[in-house]
Chain A
Amino acid sequence: MTETNTNKPLLEVKHLKTYFHSRNSTVKAVDDVSFEVYQGETLGIVGESGCGKSITCMSIGRLVECPPGRYEGGEIILDGEEILSMPDAKLRDIRGNKLAYIFQEPMTSLNPVFKIGYQIEEVLMLHRGMNKEEAHQAAIQALDRVRIPNPERVVNDYPFALSGGMRQRVMIAMALACSPKLLVADEPTTALDVTIQAQVLDLMNELKKEIDTSILFITHDLSVIAEMADRVMVMYAGKVVELADVNTIFERPLHPYTRGLIESRPDMSTSGTRLNVIPGNVPDLSDLPEGCSFSPRCAFCCDKCRAGVPELVEVEPNHWVRCYRPGGEDLDN
């Protein structure tokens, strides 16, 4: 994957800020987030609920409801085109065509009153200008591609007739119908059972090779990240706290939060009497602590951390960390 880094990025997000305003507070859900996704790579975004990972990915397709949301700044450049300033008509052309989404809950993403086939055909007729018959054949092919048995029968089924794993396959088929350049998968396997999750992850990896799509993979589950991602971005309280390739993240995490996340998880190989924990709770985004947002929960917190917000710094090639004391080092270093 390292050679892909020399290419021009497919997606560039620069200083993205997505805030939510309510009468008496402002929630900085995404606060100055920058990253790139390169051609053919999978970038994993990991974090706990409320860290801004889903809002980041929804901002890319301008899917955040405005108001209450507002894009306060930044740029999102997908394949050379800026998304945030784009007219709506142009954006509609890009959504579903160059950029496709898979969400967590397949039942709420599928329309329950239309047949599976129709929902896929709609995408193809709109973006590829196919007629009804061509689209129908293409829909069968799309279902076949995601290894759905009897696609000729399933196109005429309604979503309720399918199991959770099958519905998620339909979502993938629909997302990939127009061979998008970027596939955003927001917790695509969280609602699925372990054995079904393994099937879906396996399928996504195969399809990625087949059609050479880049994937932005959002999850709270570190083991899924270990399975899928080439590079990993860890988010906490609306900010990127660490960004590196997947092996580095798991072997040499430098941000105390990343380390805490990895160590607190009972791995299949760990045994012992206690887990290492990160104390405290995930902070309220409308009432963030002074200084570094992680400082109240951090074992290495010092006066400097409570006073100022650290910048995201490249501490070694391609390894970015937002911490005054990466790896718990002393301040005078």
Chain B
Amino acid sequence: MTTDNNTLLEVRHLKKYFPIKGGVFQSTIGNVKAVDDVSFTVKRGEVLGLVGESGCGKSTTGRTVLNLIKPTSGEVLYNGVNIYDLSRSEMNKYRTKMQIVFQDPYSSLNPRLPIYEIIGEAMLEHHIVSNKEEMMNKVFDLMSKCGLFPEQAGRYPHQFSGGQRQRICIARALAVDPEFVVCDEAVSALDVSIQSQIINLLKELQEDMGLTYLFISHDLSVVKFISDSVAVMYLGEIVEMGSKDQIFNNFVHPYTEALLSAAPSFDPRKRNNANRIILQGDLPSPANPPAGCRFHTRCPFATERCAVEVPEIREIEPGHSVRCLYAEERAAKRAAQ
């Protein structure tokens, strides 16, 4: 992996362990390996979708990448600069370039601030605007860009519906002219008809402003719609990564296959599909992941080797990486079909 001009963000061997405290002296008795050696790159102007089930570490990855939580080890290169080496004041400058939109628009807006202050606060703080008048103009501009009525700028969050609040969160993220936005389940809490409005808005803004997204979601159909490339996570590790087409049409890892076939089809005539894989069992605890391949306890194709050997993630074709002992064989089998 080399950093070229096209790469906006490069994550190298990122690890985030959360200690488990216990015993009389509250010493560390173990670690929850929320993110365990994750590496990926995001190209400028692209959308990388990060999918996985709850507890797989996708949100922790998003937050660690933004330095909202300190990593255990690893590097995040933003435009070639390792953001973990930056001093506090230098990091503050980078904060304007990297923003986040959270899942729940109810808990992520301060109920005591009017909308113009929620959106405008960071502009003044980061000296993007020099006075209040300029700020208000920019707030109005952003509000109309995000599908809100500028005349409602004096209202408070409780006067808005869920979808409108998510628009406010997006406007707030864009207030500091970022290049990179992490969307952490940004549409998951919304109603179906509102969800599609917000997805369209995110896509429009991305194209108009040349934004780069890390789009975290558990919803495969949403990820498929919005992403250019996709990374699939399982128990803190990336198990498969590639372009949208590689992941959705030429997937190799058994977990990707299972995830895709578990998602209910939209066509009632396609139900009772015999090829459908229904995974047995639950997600193992990330505090005590299985030995060998982490997926082997639920994998329908697991062999004895899988319980012992730890698979490395490796490229099986340009831009397509898989973490499975049998990746090459499975890819060849798929190609033969």
Interface on A for B, CB 8 Å cutoff? 48-49, 163, 165-166, 193-199, 201-202, 220-224, 226-227, 229, 246-247, 250, 260-262, 264-271, 273-279, 281-282
* Contacts A195-B53, A195-B258 supplied; 14 other A-B pairs, CB < 8 Å: A165-B282, A193-B283, A196-B53, A197-B262, A223-B263, A227-B268, A247-B268, A261-B193, A264-B192, A266-B225, A268-B224, A268-B263, A274-B203, A275-B225
- Are A222 and B268 closer than 8 Å at their CB atoms? no
Chain A's closest residue to B271 (CB) is A227
Q: A224-B264, A273-B203, A277-B200 are in contact. Are A195 and B259 (CB under 8 A)?
A: yes
- Are A266 and B191 closer than 8 Å at their CB atoms? no
Chain A residues lying within 8 Å of B248, measured Cβ to Cβ, are 268
- B170-215 residues with Cβ-Cβ distance < 8 A to A are 191-197, 199-200, 203
Cα–Cα distance between A49 and B278 once the two chains are bound (Å): 29
Task: Name the one of A195, A265, A269, A270 contacting B192, with C-beta atoms under 8 angstroms.
Answer: A265
- Is B220 engaged at the interface, CB distance under 8 Å to the other chain? yes
Cα–Cα distance between A222 and B267 once the two chains are bound (Å): 10
A-B residue pairs, 7 tightest by C-beta: A266-B225, A264-B196, A198-B262, A193-B53, A223-B264, A48-B191, A227-B264
7 A-B pairs, CB-CB below 8 angstroms? Answer: A49-B191, A197-B262, A202-B278, A223-B263, A246-B268, A247-B269, A268-B224
Chain A's closest residue to B255 (CB) is A195
Task: Name the one of B220, B222, B224 contacting A194, with C-beta atoms under 8 angstroms.
Answer: B220
Task: Name the one of B200, B265, B276, B278 contacting A274, with C-beta atoms under 8 angstroms.
Answer: B200
- Is B218 engaged at the interface, CB distance under 8 Å to the other chain? yes
Interface on B for A, CB 8 Å cutoff? 53-54, 161, 163-164, 191-197, 199-200, 203, 218, 220-222, 224-225, 248, 258-269, 271, 276, 278-280, 282-283
Task: Name the one of B193, B194, B195, B265 contacting A268, with C-beta atoms under 8 angstroms.
Answer: B265
Cα–Cα distance between A266 and B260 once the two chains are bound (Å): 14
- Are A226 and B53 closer than 8 Å at their CB atoms? no
Chain A residues lying within 8 Å of B282, measured Cβ to Cβ, are 163, 165-166, 196
- Are B224 and A250 closer than 8 Å at their CB atoms? no
Task: Name the one of B194, B221, B224, B279 contacting A195, with C-beta atoms under 8 angstroms.
Answer: B279
Chain B's closest residue to A227 (CB) is B264
- Are B161 and A282 closer than 8 Å at their CB atoms? yes
Measured between C-beta atoms, what is the minimum distance from B328 to chain A in Å? 25
- Are A266 and B192 closer than 8 Å at their CB atoms? no
Chain B's closest residue to A201 (CB) is B264
Chain B residues lying within 8 Å of A202, measured Cβ to Cβ, are 278
Cα–Cα distance between A264 and B190 once the two chains are bound (Å): 13
- Are A194 and B262 closer than 8 Å at their CB atoms? yes
Measured between C-beta atoms, what is the minimum distance from A176 to chain B in Å? 20
Chain A residues lying within 8 Å of B221, measured Cβ to Cβ, are 223, 265-268
Instruction: Specify which of B191, B224, B248 lies most central, judged by the most chain A CB atoms within 10 Å of its CB.
Output: B191
Chain B residues lying within 8 Å of A201, measured Cβ to Cβ, are 264
Measured between C-beta atoms, what is the minimum distance from A200 to chain B in Å? 10
Q: A163-B283, A202-B278, A270-B225 are in contact. Are A226 and B196 (CB under 8 A)?
A: no
Chain B residues lying within 8 Å of A281, measured Cβ to Cβ, are 161, 163-164, 194
Q: A202-B278, A226-B271, A268-B220 are in contact. Are A277 and B263 (CB under 8 A)?
A: no
Cα–Cα distance between A275 and B197 once the two chains are bound (Å): 8
- Are A226 and B200 closer than 8 Å at their CB atoms? no
Cα–Cα distance between A221 and B220 once the two chains are bound (Å): 14
Cα–Cα distance between A9 and B197 once the two chains are bound (Å): 39
Chain B residues lying within 8 Å of A224, measured Cβ to Cβ, are 264
Chain B residues lying within 8 Å of A48, measured Cβ to Cβ, are 191-194
Measured between C-beta atoms, what is the minimum distance from A106 to chain B in Å? 13
- Are B193 and A260 closer than 8 Å at their CB atoms? yes
Cα–Cα distance between A261 and B197 once the two chains are bound (Å): 12
Q: A193-B218, A197-B262, A220-B192 are in contact. Are A277 and B197 (CB under 8 A)?
A: yes
Q: A199-B279, A277-B200 are in contact. Are A194 and B218 (CB under 8 A)?
A: yes
Chain B residues lying within 8 Å of A275, measured Cβ to Cβ, are 196, 199-200, 225
Chain A residues lying within 8 Å of B280, measured Cβ to Cβ, are 199
Chain A's closest residue to B276 (CB) is A198
- Are A222 and B161 closer than 8 Å at their CB atoms? no
Cα–Cα distance between A245 and B129 once the two chains are bound (Å): 57
- Are B197 and A226 closer than 8 Å at their CB atoms? no
